[in-house]
Amino acid sequence: MQDTIVILTGAGISAESGIATFRASDGLWENHRIEDVATPEGFAANPDLVHDFYNARRAKAQDAQPNAAHIALARLQSEFAGDVYIVTQNVDDLHERGGAKVVHMHGALNSALCAACQTRWDAPNVMHKTDTCPNCGTAATRPDIVWFGEMPYFMDEIADRLVGCTTFVAIGTSGQVYPAAGFVQEARNCGAETIEINLEPTGSQYMFDRQITGKATQTVPAWVDEVLGA
């Protein structure tokens, strides 16, 4: 059976591209309370604020460039003899622009979603609550972002990949946001080797067989070289 590597990435892999991480310690994301900008209740209470927030995140992501870690994972995906499945919690598109194929379990800044009929389309640079759906015409446009309390995308597909994987790697994720934080346990249950790559050990470090500590732009290319035998 061929080796299958499942990689979970988080905000830390984009940090050196200049995109701020979510600071779980104080519950703030770019100086906003998570309750205000990343929950359905926050959106219902103040849709203008939430659209402004994601419009700003989109602009920031467009200005950012993929870094050596994103590019190394794309190289792994194209050169590894087995299968490399990358699932990201990030809503930026730096993995794709670095050349990788990824699934966005928490949605994407470059996608718009109709809350009335669930149609998706390419997000305009600036999204407004008065934008109408190209399918049903309702003015219920929202960022295609999975907020706290909502079901992440691709969960069945991810579960299938975790069951068969031989190696599971978590990169730049604090391990505090579920269900992603539980993936390492699912991989362990199937006998996979588990590796954490992070700036510093996280609280879930005991779940991993191996820790690689340091900046993603250095540690990820080095780990990819190791896997590819370079």
Cα angle 229, 182, 190 (rounded to 5 degrees) comes to 55
DSSP string, 30-97: TTEEHHHHSSHHHHHH-HHHHHHHHHHHHHHHHH----HHHHHHHHHHHH-SSEEEEEE---S-HHHH
Decide: is 204 part of the binding site for ligand NAD (CB under 6 A).
Answer: no
Residue with tokens 């068969």: 164
- Residue 90 touching ligand NAD (CB under 6 A): yes
Q: Is 116 in the site for Zn ion (CB under 5 A)?
A: yes
* Residue 135's binding partner out of ligand NAD, Zn ion, none, with CB under 5 to 8 Å set by partner kind: Zn ion
Token readout for 52 is: 């402004």
- How many residues bind ligand NAD (CB under 6 A)? The answer is 27
Distances (CA, A) of 212 to 51, 202, 223: 37, 11, 9
**Using the rule CB under 6 A, which residue among 4, 6, 7, 10 binds ligand NAD?**
10
Helix (H) or strand (E) holding 225: helix 216-228
Q: Is 106 a catalytic residue?
A: yes
Binding partner selected for residue 133 from Zn ion, ligand NAD, none, CB under the kind-specific 5 to 8 Å limit: Zn ion
Catalytic residue among 70, 95, 104, 106: 106
Residue 92 binds ligand NAD, judged by CB under 6 A? yes
Interface residues toward ligand NAD, by CB under 6 A? 10-12, 14-16, 19, 21-22, 24, 29, 89-92, 106, 172-174, 176-177, 198-200, 202, 215-216
